[in-house]
Structure 1
Amino acid sequence: MMLNGIKILIGDDSILARKQLKDIVSTYGTPVFLEASNGQDAIDLYKKESPELVFLDIVMPVKDGIAAITEIKAYDKDADIIVVSSVGTQTQLKAAIEAGANDFIQKPLNAEQIHHIISSRFEGR
Structure 2
Amino acid sequence: MAKVLVVDDAKFMRMTLTNILQKGNHEVVGEAENGLEAVDLCHSLQPDLITMDITMPEMNGIEALKKIKESSSDVNIVMCSAMGQQKMVVEAIEHGAKDFIVKPFDETRVLDAIERVLS
Please give the TM-score of this superposition, normalised by the length of structure 1. Answer: 0.87
1:42-67 deviation per Cα after TM superposition (whole angstroms, max 9, x unaligned)? 00000111100100000011100000
1:4-24 deviation per Cα after TM superposition (whole angstroms, max 9, x unaligned)? xx4210110000000000111
* RMSD (Å), alpha carbons: 1.6
Q: Which has the higher contact order (CA 8 A, sep 6+)?
A: 1
Describe the shift of the 1:30–1:56 C-alpha distance in structure 2 as closer, same or farther (beyond 3 A).
closer
Number of aligned residue pairs: give it.
119
Structure 1 runs (4+) deviating above 6 angstroms are none
Please give the TM-score of this superposition, normalised by the length of structure 2. Answer: 0.91
Partner of residue 43, structure 1: 39
2:80 to 76, 81, 84: 84
Q: Which amino acid aligns with 2:14?
A: R
Kindly name which structure, 1 or 2, has the bigger radius of gyration based on alpha carbons: 1
Percentage identity across aligned positions? 35
Q: Distance in 1 between matches of 2:18 and 2:100?
A: 17
Task: Determine if the alignment matches structure 1 residue 103 to structure 2 residue 99.
Answer: yes
* Unaligned segments of structure 2, at least 5 residues: none
